């Protein structure tokens, strides 16, 4: 079990559409273990595999409160099969966009179909934080981030800030722009 690095914007991989999980085998279960370790350590209430660089339709989640017992959940190949017309607004954050929080409007309730860790088909109707978090994570599987649901002005401000930070610390590898000519 390993804590893995979480990708931060403007990392291009975060924009990939993740692939269906084909087989639930030992390596996949090891990946799930890494995702839980990484998610709990962060700490976060959800994690999509692409956030640790694995473009698979795989999510870990635990929306239990601090005082409540752990409630680890795994969603494999999740699909939203129904969304409510009524919406709810929640202040969201993302481990791939650290320390930025903004209100997002989403359907209040959804019904999802998915496979559990034993490969068994499951259905779940979610509301509240579980619904919000599931929609946030399923967005990740499609290369969508919560800042895509806020105003372009706010999104552009956030992207600018993180591009600048990546340029300062990581240089060209962490940046989605052209190679720097200042090295050497
Ligand atoms: O830890 C997280 N908290 C959170 C809060 C409100 C809405 C969504 C989330 S998910 C986030 C972890 C994360 O980035 N998952 O992709
Ligand atoms: Ni996120």
Residue range 73-90: mean pLDDT, rounded = 98
In total, how many domains does the chain have?
1
- Per the annotation, the verdict on 137 as an active-site residue is yes
In a domain, 3, yes or no: no
Q: What is the pLDDT of residues 104-163, one digit of tens each?
A: 999 999 999 999 999 999 999 999 999 999 999 999 999 999 999 999 999 999 999 999
4 assigned to some structural domain: no
Quote the CA–CA distance of 52 and 60 in Å, as a whole number. 12
Residue 7 inside a domain? The answer is: no
pLDDT at residue 180 greater than cutoff 90: no
Residues with CB under 5 A from ligand 2 (ion): 94
Tell me the C-alpha distance between 38 and 44, whole Å. Answer: 9
Tens-digit pLDDT profile for residues 158-178: 999 999 999 998 654 444 444
Instruction: Assess contact for 77 and 23: CB atoms under 8 A.
Output: no
Question: In CATH, what number is assigned to the domain containing residue 174?
Answer: 3.90.45.10
Give residue 63's pLDDT: 98
179 pLDDT tier (thresholds 50, 70, 90): low
Domain boundaries, position 94: 12-181
> How many residues comprise the chain?
184
Residue nearest to ligand 1 atom 7, measured at CA: 92
5 assigned to some structural domain: no
User: To test ligand 1's pocket by mutation, which of 13, 47, 93, 131 has the most ligand atoms within 8 angstroms of CB?
Assistant: 93
Q: Which residue of 4, 18, 46 sits with most ligand 1 atoms within 8 Å of its CB, as the best mutation to test the pocket?
A: 46
For residue 8, what pLDDT is reported? 98
Which residue owns the Cα nearest ligand 1 atom 5?
92
Counting residues of the chain whose pLDDT is more than 90, the rounded percentage is 90
Residue 65 maps to a domain = yes
More confident residue, 153 or 181: 153
pLDDT at residue 118, as a whole number: 98
CB atoms within 10 A of CB 170: 12
The atom of ligand 1 lying closest to the CA of 91 is: 6
pLDDT higher than 50, residue 83: yes
| 6 within a domain of the structure (yes/no) | no
Pocket of ligand 1 (CB under 6 A): 44-48, 51, 90, 92-96, 132-133, 136-137, 140
In a domain, 52, yes or no: yes
Residue 2 located in a structural domain: no
């Amino acid at each position: 079990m390993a804590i893995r690095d979480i990708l931060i914007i403007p990392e291009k991989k975060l924009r990939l559409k993740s692939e269906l999980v084909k087989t639930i085998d030992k390596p996949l279960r090891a990946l799930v273990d890494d995702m839980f370790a990484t998610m709990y350590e962060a700490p976060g209430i959800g994690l999509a595999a692409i956030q640790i660089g694995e473009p698979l339709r795989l999510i870990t989640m635990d929306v239990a409160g601090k005082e409540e017992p752990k409630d680890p959940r795994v969603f494999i190949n999740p699909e939203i099969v129904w969304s409510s017309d009524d919406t709810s607004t929640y202040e969201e954050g993302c481990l791939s966009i650290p320390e930025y929080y903004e209100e997002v409007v989403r359907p209040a309730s959804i019904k999802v179909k998915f496979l559990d860790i034993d490969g068994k088909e499951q259905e779940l109707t979610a509301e509240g934080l579980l619904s919000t978090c599931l929609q946030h994570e399923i967005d990740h599987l499609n290369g969508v981030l919560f800042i895509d649901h806020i105003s372009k002005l706010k999104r552009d401000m956030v992207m600018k800030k993180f591009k600048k930070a990546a340029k300062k610390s990581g240089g060209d590898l962490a940046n989605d722009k052209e190679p720097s000519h200042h090295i050497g």
